[in-house]
Structure 1
Amino acid sequence: MNTPPSPPGVERTGGPSVRIGALVPLTRPGWTEAGRHLLAGLELAVREVNDAGGTAGRPLELVVRDTAADPRKAAAAVDELAGSGVAALVGEYHSVVARAAASRADALGLPFLCSSAVIDALTEQPTEWVARLAPAQSHGWQIYADFLLGAGHSRIAVAAAPSVYWSSGTRILRDCLAPRGGTVIELDMRALSPTAVCDQVAAHRATALLLLVGHPEPAVSVVRSVRRDPRLAGIMIGAPAGQPEFAEWADSLGEDGAAIPFLRYLPERLGPLGARVGAALAERLAEAPSFVAFEGYDSVVVLAEMLRSHGADRACTAESWRRIAVEGTRGEIRFSRTPGISVRQWAWPPVQVVDRDPAEPGRFRVLHAG
């Protein structure tokens, strides 16, 4: 799918548009609500850039491709977009999909600013073609591990689905918790029903259960089973990947979905730019914007500034990651080389551990900040 070829503001600009390819999960099995928020942020920023005169007098045009959480579909979209002459790529939410897109963009010499995916190894080798806004998984999940220990949880069960992303998360948690006396008990969701998960959590005397699984299923069914099991009345359910951030979670689970801590990438208070953009996103989405919407907006702001400063040449764009400094909705964005990360990284966006307030599930409580 494509956004309209003449976005608002184009009448104030001259010359052909600068095309940016956008990778977004818009259909199942992709997390479509995350995709909708990501696209809303991308589109709002494109509109505002064009209203302000575009990039060096040329309008931006967003060329959107649905990845549907499929790495092969994403790689094919990168090939197609590269061949069509886009100046750069932006977007993607799912880590495994973003990794496939990043590897292909690196091979083709196409700049890619990854908006939301967090897996550390976006590419196998260090590259100048790829940069990332979202914090690396090892950074955010270490903050989550600190929160768990601070809350008194040292026996942690993880209900994990088979995935490079979930396996990476389990390893990060174990590496962070074990030196400080914590234990991670891995439960293989390929072999366990939600009821069996409850049995295992009770048998291992875990005090916390983390959902390292997809949404809505099996996450919703596991939460319901745990909430209704009297043996687990005092257990904390956690979802570090951020499933409770979106309204769909609250709609599916109601009160059962509250008090489930997760990671999100927002400051405790937004500055003037963030507040203005947040209001515009809320109007566009007809609901409160998630951190993913802000990531989409910031991604276009970064690329627009790079295109203004260095033109639409792909090599110049990739070379300029290290020189860019842009005020985003959540602080100043700069990219650097970070140990263990193969791409240019914003180190770091703000990271919070939050949950939905049991007394008012539509309200978020900040439990820990890193």
Structure 2
Amino acid sequence: MVTRTSPSVPIGALAPLTRPGWVEAGQHLLAGLELAVHEVNDAGGIGGRPLELVVRDTAADPARAEAAVEELAGLGVVALAGEYHSVVARAAAARADALGLPFLCSSAVLDALTDEPTDRVARLAPAQSHGWRIYADFLLDAGHRRIAVAAQPSVYWASGTRLLREHLATRGGGVVELDLRVLTPEAVCDEIADQGATALLLLTGHPEPAVSLVQAVRADRRLADVVIGAPAGQPEFAEWAALLGDDGAAIPFLRYMPERLGALGARVEKTLRERLAHAPSFVAFEGYDTITVLAEVLRSYGTDRASVAASWPHVRVEGTRGQISFTRVPGVGVWQWAWPPVQVVDRDPADPDRLRIV
């Protein structure tokens, strides 16, 4: 039983909680992490010791994340959890690996989360190559062969563009790259019309320039039949609907949820909805599942860092979205849950607050 005098088992947590990070994603991630910690402690903690979450804001800054990992390692955390942004998670993973600190990454998808294979890092989110190929197939099956990609400079967006180009090419599709460093939203619209693209993908930050791009395309009569897509999941969050209203509907995106939640997922969904005062995103479930895995690892294998890092291939844990286990996937240098459920969904034009599987 957890008591006030029991020494805690500290876990470091990284999340983007201020701009320019995707703050709502960070809040959802943290809500899931905190709920799971609360439930673990209510159930007796780790051998009678309470779990303690030591949170640091990354603000989507890789350097800030590296400094936070250094600090958390010095504070004696037994493991690192969290992070949403792929480029930030990559920096955190490299530093954690160098310090011998096990890291369970909750939500970042970049395939090359580390430069070299490592036993210390594991990940719950699917690799970008897995999810984005599913998204590319969705576009192709809907008849889109010429896809415009409006992208900002980033390792993550560049990786997504490459994956889309390569996969679309296998079935006769192609990508038109539009550089948002030099193109205004109105100029993007001109390029889409000139190039004859039937879909525009937003490989951009949220809320800007994504919101301005959607508004420009929706207002351009030449582009009335152009599908807007957001594989990175910007429309998942309530802020999207609040800023765009009806314009934010019918924009397909990737969501890492099953078609129906089981008993655990339904219970967690209800509690998260109460905590957040709106529907939880898939990122909140990723946060909850992260702590669920780490708690089981700490109970079964011990609280020293080496034992945690050695446990990944032995994990078998029931999460909110299915049974979680880790394996080695070609091209992915960390222990990977292969795979979480993947949906392509959008906001229903008849009710933008409702998500529908498309």
Both structures adopt the same fold (TM-score exceeding 0.5): yes
For 1:59, give the aligned amino acid.
P
Q: Distance in 2 between matches of 1:314 and 1:308?
A: 13
CA-based RMSD of the aligned residues comes to 0.8
Give 3-state SS (helix, strand or coil) of 1:294's partner: helix
Give 3-state SS (helix, strand or coil) of 1:113's partner: strand
For 1:96, give the aligned amino acid.
V
Give 3-state SS (helix, strand or coil) of 2:36's partner: helix
Aligned pairs (5 A) from 1:144-159:
144-159=135-150
Q: Is 136-145 or 14-23 further displaced after alignment?
A: 14-23
Aligned to 1:128: 119
Q: Does 1:23 align with 2:14?
A: yes
Q: Does 1:111 align with 2:93?
A: no
Give 3-state SS (helix, strand or coil) of 2:354's partner: strand
Give 3-state SS (helix, strand or coil) of 1:344's partner: strand
Give % identity. Answer: 75
Give 3-state SS (helix, strand or coil) of 1:159's partner: strand
Structure 2 residues without counterparts, runs of 5 or longer: none
Give 3-state SS (helix, strand or coil) of 2:88's partner: helix
Q: 1:77 aligns with which of 57, 60, 68?
A: 68
CA apart distance, 1:141? 0.1
- For normalisation by structure 2, the TM-score amounts to 0.99
Aligned to 2:212: 221
Q: Distance in 1 between matches of 2:356 and 2:278?
A: 18
For 1:223, give the aligned amino acid.
V
CA apart distance, 1:14? 6.4
CA apart distance, 1:15? 2.8
Aligned residues: 358
CA apart distance, 1:179? 1.4
Aligned to 2:166: 175
Structure 1 residues without counterparts, runs of 5 or longer: 1-8
Aligned to 1:319: 310
For 2:198, give the aligned amino acid.
T
Q: 1:271 aligns with which of 241, 255, 262?
A: 262
Aligned to 2:132: 141
CA apart distance, 1:281? 0.3
Moved over 2 A (4+): none
Q: Distance in 2 between matches of 1:308 and 1:175?
A: 44
Aligned to 2:247: 256
Q: 2:339 aligns with which of 309, 332, 348?
A: 348
Aligned to 1:3: none
Q: Distance in 2 between matches of 1:296 and 1:330?
A: 12
For 1:38, give the aligned amino acid.
L
CA apart distance, 1:43? 0.2
CA apart distance, 1:10? 4.1
Aligned to 2:180: 189
Q: Distance in 2 between matches of 1:215 and 1:31?
A: 7
Q: Distance in 1 between matches of 2:106 and 2:315?
A: 16
- For normalisation by structure 1, the TM-score amounts to 0.96
CA apart distance, 1:211? 0.3
